[in-house]
Amino acid sequence: MDDRPSGAKASFVIARRCGEFQFSQEHPFRPDRQTSVYEMCRRRGLLDGAGISVVEIENAEDRVLERFHTKDYIEALRRADRGDDVDLDMIHHGIGPAENPVFEGVFEFSALSATASLTAARLVADSGGSAFNPCGGFHHAYPDRAAGFCYVNDVAIAIDELRKRGRRVAYVDIDAHHGDAVQHAYFGDRSVLTVSMHESGKTLFPWGGFDWEVGEGDAMGYNINVPLEPGTDDDNFLRLFNDIVMDALRIFDPEVIVGQFGTDMLSTDPLTHLRLTNNGYIEAVEILHGEFPAIVALGGGGYNQQDVTKSWTLLWAELAGKGIEQSGYGGALGGVFLGDSSIEDSDLRDMRIYLSGPEKERLEHYTQDMISNYRRGILPLLQDRNR
């Protein structure tokens, strides 16, 4: 059901059925995150008002996975949908290991999430506003295999739909994990600028995304990686975001941003090693949205449920132009220096983390080196090819 009013500037796209699936009892990825975010936004009145709509995805679009994935992979995923025993062909396609388990409804989950991202892309192409699909951003899925909790590359499906409609697209990924499969899809394609900020592949899956991976052929310079040192804080993250990501975007000048806005770069995430708070996270989103209002916003990683709920509520509020009154920092009534979304209407912002001493100096030196490398190596390529 699409109840988007004419001229709507922001759409919250939700496939409620996706939130009912479970990868496994022990799996860190929880599809019900989207339900928690939706409910917090609804409770705070962030889904109401002129120019805002909620778009319900009740059924998957026919053949949606064929837009990016191979026939053999889709058939393996379809067999896995029954939740039966794993066969060798599934394992060949990355389905069945602990990170990508077989579970009942896995094909339906994948097709619904891809349809939601495809719908978000169409809405943005038609309106020039923004759309948010919290059950999206599966940036590790390759055409022929699942990887890293990702069975379907809804990101590439959204990007290709926008290109089909003649839009100039840039991909911005601030998830703590490198957007490797999206990079792979467009590594030799200069029509899409791909930028990924993530924890260094030296310390985190998928063990790549180094700054020397810049594209190939005439697309050299159109793939930008900004690996972050473990311990990176808000200050260094935002400096890199401003001096590299935003600088490259201004040169490329996209009509639409497809953004993967996972929250696993935050200090409380159990799977990563960065020290951001959601202040750095949302300030980056605000900067991006301020210059590029047409954004297809997708979810992604995030394995602390409270982090995800708070951060994606802030994300939606920014896209929808809804101010949130801040009365202090979350956790004032519970928790130590961290927001606690279990408290009704508690503040959404984290306490900031301030680094000092040798650790801060180390990160500042690294940040300056990354900016210098970008200016020497990638910037000239972008400037020459966009004249």
Task: Give DSSP secondary structure letters for 22-56.
Answer: -S-TT-S--TTHHHHHHHHHHHTTTT-STTEEEEE
Task: Compute the distance between CA of residue 203 and CA of residue 353 in angstroms, rounded to an integer.
Answer: 21
Running DSSP on this structure, what letter comes out for residue 18?
G
Q: CA-CA distances (angstroms) from residue 326 to 46, 152, 310, 353? A: 15, 37, 13, 18
Q: Is the N-terminal amide bond of 28 cis, ω within 30° of 0?
A: no
CB 131 within 8 A of CB 11: yes
* 140 among known catalytic residues: yes
CB 77 within 8 A of CB 95: yes
Sequence-ordered list of residues with C-beta below 8 angstroms from that of 68, at least 6 positions apart, any chain? 143, 152, 153, 156, 157, 160, 185
Running DSSP on this structure, what letter comes out for residue 219?
G
Q: Interior CA angle at 370 toward 359 and 366, to 5°? A: 15
Q: CA-CA distances (angstroms) from residue 176 to 41, 173, 198, 217, 265? A: 24, 9, 4, 28, 5
Sequence-ordered list of residues with C-beta below 8 angstroms from that of 344, at least 6 positions apart, any chain? none
Determine which one of 69, 139, 140, 177 is catalytic: 140
Q: Interior CA angle at 101 toward 95 and 102, to 5°? A: 75
Task: Compute the distance between CA of residue 266 and CA of residue 280 in angstroms, rounded to an integer.
Answer: 9
371: left (phi over 0), alpha (psi -120 to 50) or beta: alpha
Q: How far apart are the first and last CA of the chain?
A: 43
Task: Compute the distance between CA of residue 307 and CA of residue 387 in angstroms, rounded to an integer.
Answer: 42
Name the token pair of 363. 């990160």
Q: Which residues are catalytic?
A: 140
